[in-house]
């Protein structure tokens, strides 16, 4: 397989395969490897979703697009983005070669780094996403990181993850009940992250808007999430969120609303209190399953 021919297309990039084989998780963005087709895919994704953003994205996201100079013309360079982002929130997008185990991911957030996929989906299958790509990570997540309060939410969430790891410390390789509690903690945190950072809605002056990046990077689901009568939309409730399973292979039937990012921040505080109190040790079973690499990452923290 030629590197040039495959460019940096998701699941087909020789550069990424090599980095993974070499055990390199954190990498540079090899910008010259993007093929013309990769660049065309970015323009196409951007052009078709822009009118939906104007209608359904929250105000901070739209502001973020502007201040980061995110444009349709070309796949963004992470170095450029980081230059604009640094003075706003101290966050930076950090290129990774693939899946980042849960604790490492959350701990990066605590340190104001966002593990960022640099490949882009196949131009022949714009709506099919086998895994995150740069459009989801940079166009979906990063504009939100320009907001001070929202970025503090991510840092605070990373602190909660660290607390969960510390709480589990000393039981590594130890008794099964403690490991089961940690698995429940991870499940609860994953659910909270899913229903907020990935699929959250916010109440604004002119109605509900999306702030979750899973919505903001999906042409079809963004509109569906806010207009379909079939979607259940409720004010966020911790007791519901941490016990609610979710499935990733279809549009979300249930979404939760925050009143502001300060409100969201207060919910992360609450998540930590619940963790300390042991309320997250026995959450409802079901998705997401906690994979061994995620569990290991917490035990090794």
C-alpha span between 125 and 280 (Å, rounded): 39
Region near Fe ion per CB under 5 A, out of 22-30, 76-84, 151-159, 212-220: 212-220
For residues 192 and 274, which CB has a smaller minimum distance to Fe ion in the complex?
192
Region near Fe ion per CB under 5 A, out of 110-118, 162-170, 211-219, 222-230: 211-219
For residues 194 and 274, which CB has a smaller minimum distance to Fe ion in the complex?
194
Question: Minimum Å distance from CB 95 to Fe ion?
Answer: 15
Q: Cis omega (within 30 of 0) on the bond before 78? A: no
Question: Minimum Å distance from CB 133 to Fe ion?
Answer: 10
Question: Minimum Å distance from CB 106 to Fe ion?
Answer: 13
Which residue of this chain has its Cβ atom nearest to Fe ion in the complex?
Answer: 213
For residues 65 and 168, which CB has a smaller minimum distance to Fe ion in the complex?
65
Question: Minimum Å distance from CB 204 to Fe ion?
Answer: 22
CA nearest neighbour of 197 among 87, 281, 106, 92 = 106
CA nearest neighbour of 246 among 283, 218, 211, 271 = 283
For residues 65 and 181, which CB has a smaller minimum distance to Fe ion in the complex?
65
For residues 9 and 213, which CB has a smaller minimum distance to Fe ion in the complex?
213
HSE-CB of 115 using CA atoms within 13 angstroms: 19
C-alpha span between 17 and 6 (Å, rounded): 12
Region near Fe ion per CB under 5 A, out of 148-156, 206-214, 232-240, 269-277: 206-214
Residue with tokens 């201040």: 67
C-alpha span between 119 and 131 (Å, rounded): 10
CA nearest neighbour of 140 among 204, 208, 65 = 65
Question: Minimum Å distance from CB 212 to Fe ion?
Answer: 9
CA nearest neighbour of 187 among 244, 237, 267, 253 = 244
Residue with tokens 């709506």: 127
For residues 57 and 168, which CB has a smaller minimum distance to Fe ion in the complex?
57
User: In which element (H, E) is residue 95 found?
Assistant: strand 92-96
Question: Minimum Å distance from CB 263 to Fe ion?
Answer: 21
C-alpha span between 108 and 154 (Å, rounded): 10
Question: Minimum Å distance from CB 141 to Fe ion?
Answer: 6
Region near Fe ion per CB under 5 A, out of 40-48, 82-90, 210-218, 263-271: 210-218
Region near Fe ion per CB under 5 A, out of 40-48, 59-67, 209-217, 293-301: 209-217
Q: Is residue 254 helix, strand or coil?
A: strand
Number of residues that bind Fe ion (CB under 5 A): 1
For residues 35 and 297, which CB has a smaller minimum distance to Fe ion in the complex?
297
Sequence-ordered alpha helix ranges (H) in 176-300: 176-193, 213-216, 219-227, 238-241, 261-277, 292-299
Q: Which residues bind Fe ion (CB under 5 A)?
A: 213
């Amino acid at each position: 397989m030629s590197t040039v021919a495959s460019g940096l297309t998701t699941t087909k990039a020789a550069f990424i395969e090599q980095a993974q084989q070499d055990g390199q998780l954190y990498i540079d963005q090899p910008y010259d490897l993007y093929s013309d087709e990769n660049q065309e895919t970015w323009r196409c994704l951007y052009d078709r979703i822009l009118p939906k953003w104007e209608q359904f994205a929250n105000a901070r996201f739209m502001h973020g697009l502007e201040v980061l100079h995110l444009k349709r013309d070309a796949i963004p360079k992470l170095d450029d983005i980081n230059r604009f982002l640094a003075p706003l929130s101290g966050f930076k997008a950090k290129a990774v070669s693939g899946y980042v185990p849960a604790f490492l991911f959350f701990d990066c957030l605590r340190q104001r780094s966002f593990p960022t996929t640099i490949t882009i989906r196949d131009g022949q299958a714009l709506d099919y996403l086998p895994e995150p790509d740069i459009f989801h990570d940079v166009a979906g997540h990063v504009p939100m990181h320009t907001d001070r309060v929202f970025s503090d939410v991510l840092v605070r969430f990373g602190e909660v993850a660290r607390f969960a790891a510390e709480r589990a410390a000393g039981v590594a390789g130890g008794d099964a009940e403690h490991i089961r509690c940690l698995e429940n903690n991870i499940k609860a945190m994953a659910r909270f992250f899913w229903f907020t950072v990935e699929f959250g809605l916010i109440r604004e002056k002119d109605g509900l808007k999306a702030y979750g990046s899973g919505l903001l990077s999906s042409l079809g689901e963004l509109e569906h999430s806010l207009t379909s009568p079939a979607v259940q939309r409720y004010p966020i409730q911790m007791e519901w969120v941490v016990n609610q399973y979710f499935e990733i292979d279809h549009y979300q039937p249930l979404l939760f609303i925050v009143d502001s990012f300060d409100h969201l921040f207060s919910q992360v505080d609450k998540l930590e209190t619940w963790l300390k109190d042991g309320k997250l040790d026995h959450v409802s079973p079901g998705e997401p399953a906690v994979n061994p690499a995620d569990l290991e990452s917490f035990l090794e923290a």
